[in-house]
Amino acid sequence: MERENQFIGQSGAFLDAVERASRAAGLERPVLVIGERGTGKELIAERLHRLSQRWDGPLVIMNCAALPETLIEAELFGHEAGAFTGATRAREGRFEEADRGTLFLDELGTLSMAAQERLLRAVEYGEVTRIGSSRPVRVDVRIVAATNEDLPELVEQGRFRADLLDRLSFEVVTLPPLRMRDGDVEVLADYFGRRMAAELGWNDWPGFGDLAMQAMVRYPWPGNVRELRNVVERAVYRWDNPDRSVDHIVFDPFESPWKPLPSKMHSSEDEPSEKPASTMSAVEEAGSPELQILAGIDGIDDLKAAIDSHEKTILQHAMAKHRYNQRQTAKALSLSYDQLRHALKKHDLLG
């Protein structure tokens, strides 16, 4: 299994997690990797394998959530011909495939109780029995498992075996979400941006503008690094001027002023339409300290300059709030699209 992605980051929380995985790699013990989606759990599993004594053996990956419950045990442990309907020939399972290597079980928390019981036996005794067979097969497999579930809580709820958790949790590596990795958004955005610019054949990488970078730093990144990569690559490929800094970011690719209305709205034509937000409410929602300072400042001699500065700050924060979608920003500020464009041009805010 070869990966394009590398470990990119400089925050202490991220480096601590990578260091913990590196130290555990050389031990013949199971490791649990915990983290939200998109935090790099599979990359950690690969690191654990490559830095272990099993580096030249197979690294077999199984996503436990990708298969129906009826097939999980057959995938893990294999089956004999005729063991069930459709089993026309014998097939070895993932444990046998991973012999003398590493078996990475992703989404471990989705395993059924029956599969957990058989997994426990395989971990404890180092042997598996194919479905439809009574002859156990010896296997030499190191287990690395990953989940975004709270496994101790699942144990309390009776949904996960406590003895299996005890066996698999010799070491637990918990990956920090991107929103907790101070400084890593900027580093990752620049890395993915440079790669995409090179793929597009740009001569140079102009970087991101201040507003775009500020928006990315403020964004909570529920999809973590995977989501960041998509957002950055989309922003670069949509940018039409490689000589200027990329300053337009779209976090939600489905966002559009022409997005279809929910079905219930189509069937309720008599219901009053939602009123556009007022200019003041949009400003208040932005929660800008600069606006509060400007609103209360005294002794300004140049009134026009103060008004222009206030207007520019409103536009900057409204654009950032609505992810630089000009039509959505115009609607929120109760302006026409042309009025907003004129105001952005006046303050040199057009990308």
Q: How many CA atoms lie within 13 A of 256 on its CB side?
A: 6
Number of domains in the chain: 3
pLDDT value at position 169? 95
- Please give the structure tokens belonging to residue 222: 């529920």
- Higher-pLDDT residue of 273 and 266 is 266
CA 13 to CA 173: how far, in whole Å?
Answer: 11
Residues 20 and 136 in one domain: yes
pLDDT value at position 301? 56
Residues 153 and 25 in one domain: yes
Residues 146 and 42 in one domain: yes
Q: Is residue 1 part of a domain?
A: no
Report, as an integer, the average pLDDT of 255-267: 74
- Please give the structure tokens belonging to residue 216: 């990315």
Q: Is residue 247 part of a domain?
A: no
What is the dihedral angle through the alpha carbons of 297, 300, 303, 309, rounded to the nearest 10 degrees?
-60
% of the chain with per-residue pLDDT over 90 = 59
Q: State the pTM of this model.
A: 0.71
CA 91 to CA 85: how far, in whole Å?
Answer: 14
Q: Which of 211, 238, 265 is the last residue of a domain?
A: 238
Residue span of the structural domain in which 210 resides? 182-238
pLDDT value at position 204? 95
Strand order in the sheet with 171-174: 59-63, 101-106, 141-147, 31-34, 171-174
On the question of pLDDT at 299 being above 70, the answer is: no
pLDDT value at position 351? 62
pLDDT value at position 164? 96
Residues 57 and 169 in one domain: yes
> E-strand spans in 36-175?
59-63, 101-106, 127-129, 136-138, 141-147, 171-174
Q: Is residue 119 part of a domain?
A: yes
Report, as an integer, the average pLDDT of 293-306: 57
Q: Name the least confident of 87-96, 182-191, 248-257, 301-310.
A: 301-310
Give the CA angle between residues 155, 161, 167 to the nearest 5°.
110
Residues 188 and 279 in one domain: no
Q: Tell me the average pLDDT of the chain.
A: 85
pLDDT value at position 43? 95
Q: Which amino acid is at 230?
A: N
Residues 30 and 171 in one domain: yes
Q: Domain holding 206: CATH number? A: 1.10.8.60
Which class for 143: exposed (0-12), middle (13-18), buried (19 or more C-beta within 10 A)? buried
pLDDT value at position 266? 54
Kindly report, residue by residue over 314-335, the tens digit of the pLDDT. Answer: 888 788 777 678 888 888 888 8
Other CB atoms within a 10 A radius of the CB of residue 315 amount to 19
pLDDT value at position 202? 96
Residues 187 and 128 in one domain: no
SS3 label, residue 92: coil
Place of tokens 């793929």: 199
What sign has the CA pseudo-torsion 125, 128, 129, 134? negative
pLDDT value at position 78? 86
